[in-house]
Homo-oligomer: A and B are copies of this chain.
Amino acid sequence: MITVDLGNRIRELRQQIGLSQEKFALKIGMDRTYFASVEAGKRNISIINIKKIADGLDVSLGVLFSDL
């Protein structure tokens, strides 16, 4: 399921930069509960929010999706 794969990839990259879900969500101005559900693969997230997360992770969309 693509939502699960994307959520796992986002979690992996977030952990690489050493931020908690809460701190990362705060950094990008996203609701913490919503962000947690994205990482859990429970949201059919839109491209604008995907881009916001990629920017917060400081990776391109190409890198975010590189193995998906």
Is A48 part of the binding interface, using a Cβ–Cβ cutoff of 8 Å?
Answer: yes
Is A17 part of the binding interface, using a Cβ–Cβ cutoff of 8 Å?
Answer: no
Q: Across the two chains, which residue of chain B brings its CB closest to A65?
A: B61
A37-68 Cβ-contact flags toward B at 8 Å (1 or 0): 00000001111101100000000111011111
The distance in angstroms between the C-alpha atoms of A3 and B48, with both chains bound, is 7
22 intermolecular pairs with C-beta atoms under 8 Å apart: A2-B47, A2-B48, A2-B51, A2-B61, A3-B47, A3-B48, A6-B47, A44-B46, A44-B48, A45-B46, A45-B47, A46-B46, A47-B47, A47-B50, A60-B68, A61-B68, A62-B65, A62-B66, A62-B67, A62-B68, A64-B65, A65-B65
